Amino acid sequence: MAGFVEMFKLGKTYDTPHGPAVIVEDFSLNMQQGEYVCLLGHSGCGKSTVLTMVAGLNSISHGGVIIDNREIDGPGPDRGIVFQSPCLMPWMTAFENVMLGVKQVYPHGTRQQRHDIVAYYLNLVGLGDSLHKNAGELSQGMQQRVGIARAFALKPRMLLLDEPFGMLDSLTRMELQEILQEILTRDRITTLMITHDVDEALFMSDRVVMMTNGPRARVGAVFEMPFERPRERADVLAHPEYYALREKMISFLEEQDHKKQQKSIEELAAKRAAAAQTTVAS
Ligand SMILES: Nc1ncnc2c1ncn2[C@@H]1O[C@H](COP(=O)(O)OP(=O)(O)OP(=O)(O)O)[C@@H](O)[C@H]1O
């Protein structure tokens, strides 16, 4: 079935000093409008590579990405991105940082309309009392809230989140997960999020897509989440399928680890055999 977002046989080859390295190959995934998909996989498998290709920030070596029937050919305001660290202008206030983007996206809005949009989203993420504090004076968690408010205020058609809570303490992380759930339940923006955290993926997503280990990483398994929305964390944890799903995801990751170890052992054995042959020949 065609999706709102179609990633079709996506591939990425990086040039390296040792020659071309095929990091992602034949990565295909369709997402329905309003769907929340988490991308999970071992470190270095190519998750950010996929996400930055969809963002239009990384050139696509093979295949393509279609969003709402239009093939992407670079970054655009239809896609909002939140990275692990929000990249704010530290000398500007939280309000000014969000306003920067809002001015570009709503050039014909009145000053009051733009003001209301910025204040609305900063309030939603719990920064109503800190609108006029300089970003440089805000804690990591508060800065990430500004980054999330900025992404939503630009009214993107798709959100791309690259470990948005990765650098936060667990309490702030849980609070921001809940805020994000709340906004997304209302706005239903199609979202692709990278995470390393199986529990986060279970709580946040409609589907979890597991990537195989690179090189030539692709979709290895897809899990549908049976939890209803709006979600309460306690209900998700108490759901009869929660632990079985969690176990399947962890098993997938362990299996990938095992394959990686096996491959390293085989490569080492091949190198030793080649070295032994060279010694015998000389
Ligand atoms: N510009 C580049 N040139 C060459 N190799 C690259 C480049 N960018 C990434 N890579 C390599 O591609 C592989 C995948 O990187 P990527 O950042 O996409 O993985 P990831 O799954 O997001 O990792 P992590 O979970 O640790 O953030 C890694 O081996 C990385 O070293």
* pLDDT tens-digit map of 77-103: 899 999 988 889 999 999 999 999 899
- Taking CA atoms only, the protein residue closest to ligand 1 atom 16 is 46
CB of 40 shorter than 6 A to ligand 1: no
Tell me if residue 80 falls in helix, strand or coil: strand
Q: Please check whether residue 57 lies inside any domain of the structure.
A: yes
Q: Do residues 199 and 241 both lie within one domain?
A: yes
CA-194 nearest atom, ligand 1:
22
Q: Do residues 178 and 275 both lie within one domain?
A: yes
pTM for the predicted model, two decimal places: 0.90
d(CA 12, CA 40): 18
**Which of 105, 127, 155 is at the close of a domain?**
155
d(CA 256, CA 185): 33
CB of 49 shorter than 6 A to ligand 1: yes
CB of 43 shorter than 6 A to ligand 1: yes
Q: Do residues 96 and 170 both lie within one domain?
A: no
Q: Do residues 47 and 118 both lie within one domain?
A: no
Q: What is the pLDDT tens value at each position of the chain, 282 positions in all?
A: 678 999 999 999 999 999 999 999 999 999 999 999 999 999 999 999 999 999 999 999 999 999 999 999 999 989 999 998 888 999 999 999 999 989 988 888 899 999 999 999 999 999 999 999 999 999 989 999 999 999 999 989 999 999 999 888 899 899 999 999 988 888 889 999 999 999 999 999 999 999 999 789 999 999 999 999 989 999 999 999 999 999 999 999 999 887 877 877 888 888 888 888 877 776
- Taking CA atoms only, the protein residue closest to ligand 1 atom 31 is 44
Q: How far is the CA of 281 from the centre of ligand 1 (A)?
A: 39
Q: How many domains does the chain have?
A: 2
Q: Please check whether residue 205 lies inside any domain of the structure.
A: yes
CA-12 nearest atom, ligand 1:
12
Q: Please check whether residue 150 lies inside any domain of the structure.
A: yes
**Percent of the chain beyond pLDDT 90?**
74
ipTM of the complex as predicted: 0.97
Q: Do residues 29 and 64 both lie within one domain?
A: yes
Q: How far is the CA of 14 from the centre of ligand 1 (A)?
A: 9
Q: Do residues 182 and 198 both lie within one domain?
A: yes
Structural domain boundaries enclosing 96: 89-155
Which of 13, 16, 18, 45 best tests ligand 1's pocket when mutated (most atoms within 8 Å of CB)?
45
The closest of 49, 43, 67 to 11, measured between CA atoms, is: 49
CATH assignment at residue 56: 3.40.50.300
Q: Do residues 143 and 15 both lie within one domain?
A: no
Q: Please check whether residue 28 lies inside any domain of the structure.
A: yes
How confident is the model at residue 282, as a pLDDT? 66
Q: Do residues 70 and 96 both lie within one domain?
A: no
Which of 18, 23, 58, 260 best tests ligand 1's pocket when mutated (most atoms within 8 Å of CB)?
23
**Which of 155, 173, 192 is at the close of a domain?**
155
Q: Please check whether residue 83 lies inside any domain of the structure.
A: no
Q: Are 136 and 91 in contact (CB under 8 A)?
A: yes
Q: Please check whether residue 84 lies inside any domain of the structure.
A: no
Q: Please check whether residue 115 lies inside any domain of the structure.
A: yes
Q: Do residues 49 and 165 both lie within one domain?
A: yes
Q: Do residues 183 and 259 both lie within one domain?
A: yes
* pLDDT tens-digit map of 121-145: 999 999 999 999 999 999 989 999 9
**Which of 124, 155, 186 is at the close of a domain?**
155
Distances (CA, A) of 130 to 125, 127, 215: 11, 5, 45
Q: Do residues 113 and 238 both lie within one domain?
A: no
Q: Do residues 167 and 269 both lie within one domain?
A: yes
Q: Please check whether residue 56 lies inside any domain of the structure.
A: yes
Q: How far is the CA of 252 from the centre of ligand 1 (A)?
A: 20
CB of 177 shorter than 6 A to ligand 1: no
d(CA 118, CA 95): 7
Q: Residue 217's beta-bridge partner residues?
A: 24
Q: Residue 99's beta-bridge partner residues?
A: none
CB of 114 shorter than 6 A to ligand 1: no
d(CA 69, CA 254): 37
d(CA 67, CA 51): 13
DSSP code for 139: -
